[in-house]
Structure 1
Amino acid sequence: MCQHQPPCPTAHSADRESARLVAHHPEQGWSLLCNGVLLFEDTGELLPDGQIIAPHRPLATGRVVTAA
């Protein structure tokens, strides 16, 4: 699918999110990468084979939440 040189990571590579954007629709909350991965605003992903990758936002660090 990817025609870039060097080629972008495949959809099943650990670094698949570093592939180049083909389409970006922030108003709808998704982007299509050149490796066929649909990347959603909530950090979830849909791979070309239909596999779902659950959202994986990094946890906040150094924040202390206290009750008011």
Structure 2
Amino acid sequence: MADDILSWSTKGKTIRNLIKELESFEDQNLKVELSLDGGVSSVPISLVGKKDGECLLISLKDET
């Protein structure tokens, strides 16, 4: 289990793995946000895109 956590925390997740994890949530209407500081703060995901062969979760929220 610890090896799995280390693996995805450094390598990231695939779209397939992310969808599988999101499907495990009972409430499928939860708002999705993104945190870059371990959950201390978060921003809403505004767009999903693709760049250089990778899926991007994009937030357009002003950081003011």
Shorter-chain TM-score: what band? under 0.3
Name the structure with the higher helix share: 2
TM-score (norm 1): 0.27
**Who wins on radius of gyration, i.e. which is larger?**
1
